[in-house]
Amino acid sequence: MTKINRSKAPVFAIPEKLYPIEPVLFKSKLGFPIYTISAGTEPIVRLDFIFQAGTKYQKELFVAGCTNSLLIEGTHKRTGKEIAETVDFLGSYIYPFYDRDEAGITMYCLEKHLKKNLELVLEILQKPSFPTDEIKIFKAKKQQSLILDKQKPENVAREKFLQSLFGQTHPYGIHGRIEDLDKLDQKKLISFHQDFYSQENMKIILTSRNCSEHLPFLEEILSEWKSHFNPELIQKSVPTADNKNHQQHYIEVDQATQTTIRLGKIMPDRHHPDFPILSVINTILGGYFGSRLMQNIREDKGYTYGIGSGLISFKEQTILTISSSVTSEFYSDAIKECFLELKRLREELIPEEELKRVRNYLIGDLQRQLDGPFNIADTFKAMLFHGLDFADLDKIQKTLFELNAEDIKELAIKYLQEDDFLVIAAGPSK
């Protein structure tokens, strides 16, 4: 056996190509796609059941979220307590998820209990009962959450930001009120479930060390699911927002001790050829702990404990946001410093050492996203959402190796003009 010299650091090397385990598309006899990721060595199975059933498809506020949240709170055969006890007994983990575009259920279980877990998930997806008591509990919790949100500057700023950016009636900008909860009832949940939770509107991601073993059984169990679906229900597209007529808003929040600032604008989506370089610009600006915003506003000025920027991609729109909670007396100065950093990106070439550091960070982050079967599943799920695949990761890495300071400056001039930014601040009464 070769003895390792642990006093000597290993050679530093950057992989030139990603080698992810490629998902394989299996077209079931029942019509819905199953993407399989055969990876890992542990006897664990993960299943993602994904539906186009996000909040943008609801006719009334809170219906999509309540429908999804209450899937595990009771079926025609079991109560929510019995479902929880069964999951606990089998050593499994089942959780519902939803956002503006999609909704579904993710399940983790041991291979030896796959059959029982699949039967349970099918029952949850096919025959939820939406108990009236659970609807009351959901409404009470949501009402309390809405009340608390009004007391938190970060939530007030986020709500105002999305409303101002997209419009108050836009699916990405609309925000529910307490009075909207009063309209929520069992009949509306049952109707939404029947419309959107069907085989024809479903995608599945199966992750396991040997997916081929589980496919026949998965198809057999799901063949018992009978549903009807109208494809016109998911043809809805959202209105396109732009960066015109952006203003600055200050919202007073009673008893606030800090001021939350949020700046942002509409950006090209993930299919646009400029997006890979824009993700680099975002990282330089505020996408990691060593970013310029952190160095300036936290380390140098001391206005905040933390500040960052991010590219948030919905199905049909992408936005760039800068957000932080700062000492209230310095919120205007913090906003000025944010714009100063945007100006630096437009007018100065990034030093080669900084570009190298950011490039290495992003390449390492790509590697982290593909480390282990469940990380691979999470990454693929996000890419599938946008109609992308793992070939696009190689394109991103290729861009990282090829881009230079001039490319960054050129796109900063194109996309980071100060007049395009919406500015929101929420904090104490002036």
Residues 279 and 403 in one domain: yes
Cβ distance 88 to 78 under 8 Å? no
Long-range Cβ contact pairs of 177-183 (< 8 A, separation 24 or more): 177/61, 177/146, 178/143, 178/146, 178/147, 180/60, 180/61, 180/62, 181/62, 181/139, 181/142, 181/143, 181/146, 182/139, 183/60, 183/61
Residues 210 and 321 in one domain: no
Residues 207 and 320 in one domain: no
Residues 259 and 199 in one domain: no
Query: How far is Cα 63 from Cα 106, in angstroms, rounded to an integer?
Result: 20
Residues 177 and 133 in one domain: yes
pTM summary value? 0.92
Sign of the torsion angle spanned by Cα atoms 219, 222, 224, 226: negative
pLDDT at 27: 81
SS3 state at 174: coil
Report the CATH number that the domain containing residue 392 is assigned in CATH.
3.30.830.10
Residues 203 and 328 in one domain: no
Query: How far is Cα 337 from Cα 330, in angstroms, rounded to an integer?
Result: 10
Query: How far is Cα 219 from Cα 21, in angstroms, rounded to an integer?
Result: 23
* Spatial CA neighbour of 294 closest among 361, 236, 366, 209: 361
Beta strands in 169-232 (DSSP E): 202-208
Residue at a domain's end among 179, 210, 234: 234
Residue with tokens 């190298």: 356
Q: How many residues does the chain have?
A: 430
Residues 34 and 116 in one domain: yes
* Spatial CA neighbour of 106 closest among 320, 381, 313: 381
239 falls within a domain: no
pLDDT at 8: 84
Residues 198 and 258 in one domain: no
Query: How far is Cα 247 from Cα 226, in angstroms, rounded to an integer?
Result: 51
Local confidence pLDDT in tens for the 430 residues of the chain: 577 788 888 777 777 667 678 899 988 777 889 999 999 999 999 999 999 999 999 999 999 999 999 999 999 999 999 999 999 999 999 999 999 999 999 999 999 999 999 999 999 999 999 999 999 999 999 999 999 999 999 999 999 999 999 988 899 999 999 999 999 999 999 999 999 999 889 999 999 999 999 998 888 888 888 777 887 877 777 777 766 656 889 999 998 999 999 999 999 999 999 999 999 999 999 999 999 999 999 999 999 999 999 999 998 889 999 999 999 999 999 999 999 999 999 999 999 999 999 999 999 999 899 999 999 999 999 999 999 988 888 888 889 989 999 999 999 999 999 999 999 999 998 7
Residue 202: CB atoms within 10 Å: 25
Residues 175 and 305 in one domain: no
26's tokens: 């299996």
Residues 141 and 191 in one domain: yes
Residues 286 and 355 in one domain: yes
242 falls within a domain: no
State the DSSP code for 74. Answer: B
Residues 326 and 394 in one domain: yes
16 falls within a domain: no
228's tokens: 């009807």
Cβ distance 380 to 23 under 8 Å? yes
pLDDT at 59: 92
Cβ distance 214 to 26 under 8 Å? no
Q: In DSSP terms, which residues pair with 109 in a beta bridge?
A: 45
Residue at a domain's end among 211, 234, 257: 234
13 falls within a domain: no
Give the domain extent around 144. 24-234
The DSSP string of 338-353 is HHHHHHHHHHSPPPHH
158 falls within a domain: yes
Q: b/e for 357-383, b at 16 or more Cβ within 10 A?
A: ebbebbbeebeebbeebbebbbbbbeb
7 falls within a domain: no
Residue 187's H or E segment, with its range, is helix 186-196
* Spatial CA neighbour of 208 closest among 425, 427, 430, 36: 36
11 falls within a domain: no
pLDDT at 9: 81
Domains of the chain: total: 2
